[in-house]
Amino acid sequence: GSLHELEEREMLEKGLIAREAVEVMKASAQIGPQGFLPYARHAIKQLSVIRSAAEANLSFFGVLEDDLMLAYPPASIRRNVFQALERLPPSADLLYLEMCFENCSHLCYLEGEDLIARSASPACSAAILYTLKGARRILELCDPVFHAI
C-alpha cells in the first residue's frame, strides 16, 4: 500500500519503524495508541521525501507541511530566510524554520547573529531546510523510524 495507508504490521515487516518506536509512541502522552498510526506514517513519509532528495543529490531542499501558519508577512519571511541562508555556517545540517514547543530563552545565537540560533529542543518537522549533508545524517540517525519526527 501507499505510505498513507501503512499499518503497524507492514511498517515493522518492511523495517520502516523500530519495534521500540511503536511501544514508545503508543505510551507517549502526546501520541498514544490512537495517534500512533498518523504520527508513524508522517515520520515515514518525511524520511521518504528526505531520502528522495538525498538520492537526487540536491544540495539544498525544504520540507514544508501544508498546514503551516505564518507568523509574519510572506515578504518578511522570504527576506529573513534568504538572509539566514546566506549566513548559514558550512557545518550546518539544516535550517529549522519553526519554533514548535521551543523555549526561546534556551536558544543559542551565533556570535553577532540575530537570525540563526542553535535550537535547544526542536520538536516538530513542519518547516525545515536541509543541506545534502544534513539529509544524509538524518537518514543515518532516523531510519528506521524510532520516534515521531
Question: pLDDT tens-digit profile of 34-72?
Answer: 999 999 999 999 999 999 999 999 999 999 888 888 888
Distance (Å, whole) CA 7 – CA 117:
38
Distance (Å, whole) CA 51 – CA 127:
17
Distance (Å, whole) CA 52 – CA 119:
26
Three cell numbers written together for 145:
523510524
The mean pLDDT value of the chain amounts to 88
The domain locations on the chain are: 1-56, 58-142
What's the confidence (pLDDT) of residue 124?
Answer: 77
Under the banding of pLDDT at 50, 70 and 90, the label for residue 148 is low
Reported as a single tens digit per residue, the pLDDT across 65-113 is: 888 888 889 999 999 999 999 998 899 999 988 877 777 777 787 777 7
- Length of the chain in residues, anyone? 149
What's the confidence (pLDDT) of residue 120?
Answer: 76
Residue written as grid cell 527576506: 79
CB-based contacts of 76, cutoff 8 Å, min separation 6:
none
